[in-house]
Amino acid sequence: MFDFNIKPILVFWETTRACPLECKHCRAEAIRDPLPGELTTKEAIQFIDSLEGFGKPYPVLIFTGGDPLIRRDIFDLIEYAVKKGFRVGIAPAVSDLLSVDNIRRMKELGLKYVSISLDGGKAETHDRIRGIEGHYNMTVNALRLLRKHRFITQINTVVTRENVHELPYVVELLKTLDIRIWEVFFLIRVGRGTDVNDISPREYEDVLHFLYEVTRYGIEVRTVEAPFYRRIVLWRKEDIADYTDLDIEYVSRRYSLTPLYKELVKNLIELVGEPVSSPEPKISRTRDGKGVVFVSYNGDIYPSGFAPYKVGNVKQEDIVRIYQENKVLRMIRKGEFKGRCGYCEYRDICGGSRARAYAETGDILGEDPACIYIPTGNR
């Protein structure tokens, strides 16, 4: 359906950098007021029009930020994109702007997808990360409203040293609210994220194996900037002894995991009970610049929001041509990487996080330092 050499499946547009929150890990280093150079309404409409050049089926267009609800023209732009035939989603901040009236208006305009960030399984952790007392309760109430209005709703969670032990509590909330999509972000040291403590590469493996177990509970797990989750899914699917029944001790030994894996899974079972099914993981072959493209508040085009490697600007250039013809984006899609990622047998389905490679090494084609796997492919 989507040839990622021709078109992305997701276009993220950072509608504004303005946001009322002060999140510790904010990629955008969001501020209270819009920055100079933000796309005007006219420029935004021209940008939406340009996406038609990818052809049908159009990419999904996600309005993100900052807080997109701060833009005074946001509902006009949503309406315009929907009437053009785009599937549209939004990633608003939980603030007074995410009101009942605005939620109803989004629904009336035909917006389908809403993602809300929840960065702790406990109120005090989420509030501390988000920088606002009482924000956890505001977030839960917003999620309930979105479910009531029948949006396709997902929870986004950034994994850090501060909240990693609370991941089972996030799953409990997902189950309680009957939200079935969990997008789990792994830290990239950009923006304010440079000051946040990350977990270790070996603990990444623990968390990703834990996320595989979460799919046994009817929850679709998506990972952002940890594409090696797909390697783990392939490993686990090939292990017949492991596929049907969950054996924590076996998995821990088989994949040389740390105690974190067992802690997370045992807590998960205590909170929500034994698994209800065999694992049902869904994976894709997308990565930064392959099936995904990001447009910043001022029109700059990046492989993703976490990889601020400029490849063009929508004010002066055609995003279709940039996506299809830019040399670096083409190398990313071909898997022409350096280091371990370059000779890894999983470089097509995984390819490592281009954002992390860029943030940590300065090379968008470098290897992902968070992946511990030693490839068996030819150097």
Question: How confident is residue 309, by pLDDT bands cut at 50, 70 and 90?
Answer: very high
127-143: b (≥16 Cβ within 10 Å) or e: bbbbebeebbebbbebb
Spatial CB neighbours of 116, under 8 Å, sequence gap ≥ 6: 91, 92, 94, 139, 142, 143, 146, 153, 154, 155, 156
- Checking DSSP bridges between strand 60-64 and strand 88-90, what pairing results, if any? parallel
Rounded CA separation 174/162 (Å)? 20
Cross-strand bridge partners of residue 156: 117, 183
Domain count, the chain: 2
pLDDT, position 193 = 45
The residue among 253, 272, 291 that closes a domain is 272
pLDDT, position 241 = 74
Mean pLDDT of the region 23-42: 72
pLDDT, position 195 = 62
pLDDT digits 0-9 by tens, 140-155: 999 999 999 999 999 9
The residue among 250, 272, 294 that closes a domain is 272
3-14: b (≥16 Cβ within 10 Å) or e: ebeebbbbbbbb
Q: Are 77 and 195 members of one domain? A: yes
Rounded CA separation 123/161 (Å)? 16
Q: Are 258 and 341 members of one domain? A: no
User: Do the domain assignments include residue 365?
Assistant: yes
First-to-final CA distance of the chain:
33
207, pLDDT greater than 70: yes
User: Do the domain assignments include residue 109?
Assistant: yes
**CATH code of 22's domain:** 3.20.20.70
Q: Are 217 and 91 members of one domain? A: yes
pLDDT digits 0-9 by tens, 48-69: 999 999 999 999 999 999 999 9
Q: Are 16 and 156 members of one domain? A: yes
Mean pLDDT of the region 307-330: 98
Instruction: Round the average pLDDT of the chain to a whole number and report it.
Output: 93
**CA atoms lying within 13 Å on the CB side of residue 3:** 7
Q: Which amino acid is at 64?
A: T
User: Do the domain assignments include residue 302?
Assistant: no
Question: How confident is residue 28, by pLDDT bands cut at 50, 70 and 90?
Answer: very low
pLDDT digits 0-9 by tens, 240-292: 777 778 999 999 999 999 999 999 999 999 999 999 888 989 988 899 999 99
The residue among 234, 254, 272 that closes a domain is 272
Q: Are 368 and 266 members of one domain? A: no
Q: Are 88 and 232 members of one domain? A: yes
Mean pLDDT of the region 294-314: 97
pLDDT, position 345 = 95
pLDDT, position 194 = 58
Domain limits for position 167: 10-272
Is residue 302 within 8 Å of residue 311, measured between CB atoms?
A: yes
